[in-house]
Amino acid sequence: MSAVGVDLGLGASTVAAALEEPRQIGAVTAARGTPVTVLDPWKLLVLWAARRDFAADVRGERVVGALATTVETSARPGRAILGGCGAVVARLGRNTIADYTTVVFYGEPDLPRLPDENTATRILVVEPDPLLALYGQTTTIGQSWVDLFRLPGWQAAEFTAALLPLVSSGDQDALLHT
């Protein structure tokens, strides 16, 4: 557990407290002096989704007249990390789930003047975790699923349901790198 604390810049007691419930439900093994091992990624993901306070991390919200895909492709690289439905589409390489009108960015995106495409797209700017950039320019499938689980609306529900086979498979590589 101390290695996790060092990696995250947290004290051993903070890490131990954070891992107590995942350990109790059999999602991880965590004992003093041994590495933390994920035993059941699905349980860990469900626990995270149940506890995640996505709304508390939203730092800004605005509505634009451009399509969600226009907003996502217009954002200049390196300024913000794409989350939500757009991250899922980017990770999977296509959208076979549903159209959507909410775009999630971790950090403030550098957007040019957007065209008026006669629609209403909501942009949510979320406070980024300092380690999030380690996973690339989009959130992972696991992170995206948790965030979409916490977002209201039918579009988020469609994406959450469509991702269930992938996230419940327990394939850690799929959750982090798909």
- Checking if the pLDDT of 1 tops 60, the result is no
- Checking if the pLDDT of 4 tops 80, the result is no
Q: Are 68 and 168 within 8 A, CB to CB? A: no
Burial class (CB in 10 A: 0-12, 13-18, 19+), 124: buried
Half-sphere exposure of 140 (CA within 13 A, CB side): 19
**Percentage helix, strand, coil for the chain under 3-state DSSP, each rounded to 5:** 50, 15, 40
- Checking if the pLDDT of 130 tops 90, the result is no
- Beta carbons within 8 Å of 46's beta carbon, 6+ residues apart: none
- Beta carbons within 8 Å of 69's beta carbon, 6+ residues apart: 86
In the chain, domain spans: 2-39, 54-177
| Ordered alpha helix ranges (H), 60-171 | 68-74, 84-92, 141-150, 154-167
% pLDDT > 70, the chain: 97
User: Rounded distance, CA 136 to CA 124, Å?
Assistant: 19
pTM, rounded to two decimals = 0.90
